[in-house]
Amino acid sequence: MQAALAVAADLFALGERADAALALEQVLASQTLSALHDARQHEQIASLLLIAGKDDEACRHYAAAAGHYRNDGAPLGELRCRLQLGELAQDKEANTRAAQLAAELGHARLDRQQHRQLAALFEASGELALAVTHLEAALATPAVAVPVPSRRINAVAMRLQLLASELELSQLRKQPQQETEQDALSGNLTRAALNTRLPALIAAAHDGQSLSLLQITIDRFSEIRAQRARHIGDDVVRTVTALLRIDRRPAELLARIGDDEFLLALPGRDAEAAQQEAEILRQRIAGYDWASLHPALALSVSIGCASCLPGDSTDVLLFRADLARYLAQRGGGNHVSCAAEVSQ
């Protein structure tokens, strides 16, 4: 759903209203929408509905988002939604809560738009001193730079790839014969399914075909699980999966081998090519807009690379990939380490 929302937002930004409206309708028709507990996604849906001129529907999603932000302990997100509700629905309760949140957060944490909305709120309620204070703050707050069109277009292309990957995963989940081999959360192979396939790849490597493994760990994932709602961690796993699946070749295998760990088998890639691919993946994940899942979220991965050597067994190759991953993570994460470097 996240990728579909991002595509709709970018299409609206590019002026492609018909395509954007179609993408938004697909989101609203999703069977998972009724069970959605993600504050950011509710807010994004509300914003898009507002652009589409569907104010009443937007208010329902702003209200849902505000409630989830409050439960998640995210006051800035809640403030954004309460201010929108106050404007759209003349919701006095939302205005009261917005004023309370603004006082708790302090001027320095508010942006220009929020100061302007608060100025209008306090002017309407007759609290002119507070209205003037927020108006002055709005005038003193620098405007947020608007991304250049080329970056916006690149973002659309990236998110379309993510959406295609998510659709592919959705189709795979509908195939009953894959139930025992497929990780329920990510749609990747399970560790057991990977273990049944690796020996054939290693045998081919011993016959002259290159084979490399990338072991990928989400840095500090246990902290994300502990500090945020459960669904945030699940969304991270799904999004990392989608990012890892971009541009995959048919023979390559992606497995989830732990709560925060993935293994990518790259037949036909030598050590140098595997290291280059690992760096592409590291940068792609570090550069993703993780705030779209949660306002305070940032994410990186550590990747260990290992290429199959003469005489390597499955266990030996996996051990070397795991050791390289450990060394990549030991220095703080967001790094790529190769088994060749480890042995030197």
Positions of CATH 1.25.40.10 in the chain: 36-140
**Adjacent-strand bridge partners of 306:** 213
At 29, phi and psi to the nearest 5? -85, -5
Nearest CA to 184 out of 168, 197, 172, 195 is that of 172
How far is it, in rounded angstroms, from Cα 24 to Cα 218? 31
CATH superfamily of 180-343: Reverse transcriptase/Diguanylate cyclase domain (3.30.70.270)
pLDDT band with cut points at 50, 70 and 90 for residue 145: very low
How far is it, in rounded angstroms, from Cα 264 to Cα 214? 5
| Residue range 36-140, CATH number | 1.25.40.10
**Adjacent-strand bridge partners of 337:** 304
**Adjacent-strand bridge partners of 218:** 301
pLDDT digit string, tens, across residues 279-331: 999 999 999 989 888 888 899 999 999 999 998 999 999 999 999 999 998 87
pLDDT digit string, tens, across residues 8-61: 666 666 666 777 777 777 777 775 666 667 788 888 888 888 888 888 898 999
Nearest CA to 255 out of 245, 246, 269 is that of 245
Positions of CATH 3.30.70.270 in the chain: 180-343
Nearest CA to 231 out of 2, 36, 52 is that of 36
Burial of 133 (0-12, 13-18, 19+ CB in 10 A): middle
Tokens encoding 228: 């945020």
